[in-house]
Structure 1
Amino acid sequence: MLRDFFSKKKRYTSIPRKEAKQDVPEGLMQKCPSCQKIFYRKELYRNMNVCPHCDHHHKLTAYERIDYLFDENSFEEWDVQMVSANPLDFPDYEEKLEKDRHKSGLNEAVVTGKASINGMQTAVAVMDARFRMGSMGSVVGEKITNAIENARKENIPFIIFTASGGARMQEGVLSLMQMGKTSIALKRLSDSGGLFISVMTHPTTGGVSASFASVGDYNFAEPGALIGFAGRRIIEQTIREKLPDDFQTAEFLLHHGQIDRVVHRHEMKETLSTVLDIHQGKEAAK
């Protein structure tokens, strides 16, 4: 009897399942890759995309950076409709370009135009790593060159914010030619007495770091930005030595005299405004 009783008795009881909690809406929260803290995206945006816990500088889109730094409604965009072709008939290149246009809302990896900082006019170019990793193709080189030429003609400074993986492989030597093209335009700006400020953001590498990004009258960088030409692994294999942990960071380059200052994003507008004001005073004194 006892055996029958225990064999028929349930060995567990069913507990009614609670209703599943509603999922957090996608995009509401974000984890910092540096400190792993989780916070609201709105909180991050209000802090200029700088982590409120560890000060890690998250990437900015081109238009976010323009909104943060320049006077409200002062930005006038140039060469909006300029888009890349496929001069080498590289397989699937056109499809990849279209995918990046849809994803980023941009026609190319750089936005150029004219804006003002505290009332002082300047030409500006802002690279955006969401489009082909900010790689430099023919259109990127053309837009930057046009912006430099416009700055020279209008006798205003030129500021560029770089973020790039280097030259665009799908355009081969045409991409590499943009290094010389932009550098020559900057030399003409310099010869005319124009001011060029380069601000390197994460990452600035390859042909971009080896050309226009590194030849500013002032070379600034954001904290922690990766700046270099070849990759760390390639360099270590070539020289057969272990590189320092902070190699190719903005702080490492500052320590070795390759940039002039590491500027926190919260201080960027004030820093640029001060430099522009100094040079505007010099021009007025002539």
Structure 2
Amino acid sequence: MNWITNYVRPKINSMLGRREVPENLWIKCPETGEMVFHSDLENNKWVIPASGYHMKMPAKARIRDLFDGGVYEALSQPKVAQDPLKFRDSKKYADRLRDSRAKTELEDTIVAGVGHVQGVKLVAVIHEFAFMGGSLGIAAGEAIIKAFERAIAERCPLVMFPASGGARMQEGILSLMQLPRTTVAVEMLKEAGLPYIVVLTNPTTGGVTASYAMLGDLHLAEPGAEICFAGKRVIEQTIREKLPEGFQTSEYLMEHGMVDMVVKRHDIAPTLARVLKILMKEPPAPMLAVEHDAPVAEPA
């Protein structure tokens, strides 16, 4: 316990009438250095208004924003073994889990739900990067598989929003086993004739990229997202060469055929609805009648 910080300083502030100001009221744009008020950023879907830079969006905020009116059925987190390897590095894995749960108010890194996006029913699976870097462990793998099973049962598409540093090292081989398990779940959905769409967000790396994040029928990506298996610095140190500017960004991957579309966050919901209606062979939304100032002449 820090006696000065926790006791003396609050006493002095109360005597002088000072108010504690939260440290996260202003967010700095990583691209331009512009300072943006927190509420303005949140109201703009966590996109910097001036530069268009896409900040990381909390999973709970993303799933509410995705579904019509923010209404959806949350899928429960399956119960799995906690800390199966009794892992410890500089900190106990059990303590890391406890801290991440307190920080995010989530059981693990996956948030999933069933709802409608512009009238199209789908299952959405979203990674929370703030929970241990969105890493893939037993709990996340089980939650993803259950979400695929729900999509098959509901006969509806599944949309995945990965944001991950890869497999969770604290679970070792048990984490790596989630790569083939989730891959099988993807194949089950495809065998059922249901679409699987991946919306790649920043960052999508490691074992997640090596499995379900790159197995979609269609791959969308947010602007500027880092998408890779190994990081740029690791590759440069390995091959001893300088990599091109913008390497591993969503724009670079689209130019080289690994991403189908780069879509701004504000356009993701309408884009998903339009694409899924085509894939599900549903009729498009009715076009509004266009009024003309003058009558159109009949052909002779």
The C-alpha deviation readout for 1:89-125, integer Å capped at 9, x for no partner, is 1121111100000011111001112111012210110
C-alpha distance 38-20 of structure 1, shift in aligned 2 (>3 A) = farther
C-alpha distance 47-283 of structure 1, shift in aligned 2 (>3 A) = closer
The correspondence of residues 170-181 of structure 1 with structure 2, limited to 5 A, is 170-181=170-181
What is the number of equivalent residue pairs in this alignment?
A: 266
Q: What TM-score, normalized to structure 1?
A: 0.88
C-alpha distance 220-73 of structure 1, shift in aligned 2 (>3 A) = closer
Tell whether 2:72 aligns with 1:75. Answer: yes
Distance 1:102 1:278 in 2: 41
The correspondence of residues 1-286 of structure 1 with structure 2, limited to 5 A, is 25-80=22-77, 82=79, 85-91=82-88, 92-281=92-281
Distance 2:166 2:177 in 1: 12
1:37 positional shift: 0.8
1:192 positional shift: 1.3
Distance 1:168 1:39 in 2: 33
1:72 positional shift: 1.9
Instruction: Single out whichever of 217-226 and 229-238 deviates more from structure 2.
Output: 229-238
Residue identity opposite 2:195 in structure 1: L
C-alpha distance 133-280 of structure 1, shift in aligned 2 (>3 A) = same
Instruction: Single out whichever of 74-83 and 104-113 deviates more from structure 2.
Output: 74-83
**Matched position secondary structure for 2:136:** coil
Distance 2:22 2:204 in 1: 33
Residue identity opposite 2:281 in structure 1: G
C-alpha distance 189-253 of structure 1, shift in aligned 2 (>3 A) = same
1:23 positional shift: 7.4
C-alpha distance 237-73 of structure 1, shift in aligned 2 (>3 A) = closer
1:73 positional shift: 4.4
Are the aligned partners of 1:157 and 1:195 in contact in 2 as well (CA < 8 Å)? Answer: yes
The C-alpha deviation readout for 1:224-260, integer Å capped at 9, x for no partner, is 0000001112211222211012111001100100010
Distance 1:20 1:93 in 2: 42
Q: What TM-score, normalized to structure 2?
A: 0.84
Distance 2:70 2:222 in 1: 25
Are the aligned partners of 1:82 and 1:107 in contact in 2 as well (CA < 8 Å)? Answer: no
Distance 1:244 1:235 in 2: 12
**Matched position secondary structure for 1:204:** coil
Distance 2:263 2:62 in 1: 14
Are the aligned partners of 2:75 and 2:113 in contact in 1 as well (CA < 8 Å)? Answer: yes
For the pair shown, which has the larger CA radius of gyration, 1 or 2?
1
Distance 1:25 1:172 in 2: 38
**Matched position secondary structure for 1:281:** coil
Distance 2:187 2:77 in 1: 25
Distance 2:99 2:276 in 1: 38
Residue identity opposite 1:46 in structure 2: N
Unaligned runs of 5+ in 1: 1-18
Residue identity opposite 1:220 in structure 2: L
Instruction: Single out whichever of 229-238 and 193-202 deviates more from structure 2.
Output: 229-238
C-alpha distance 36-22 of structure 1, shift in aligned 2 (>3 A) = farther
**Matched position secondary structure for 2:69:** coil
Unaligned runs of 5+ in 2: 1-15, 285-300
Distance 2:270 2:34 in 1: 29
1:210 positional shift: 0.7
C-alpha distance 241-73 of structure 1, shift in aligned 2 (>3 A) = closer
> Identity over the aligned pairs, expressed in percent?
43
Are the aligned partners of 2:64 and 2:71 in contact in 1 as well (CA < 8 Å)? Answer: no
Are the aligned partners of 2:163 and 2:200 in contact in 1 as well (CA < 8 Å)? Answer: yes
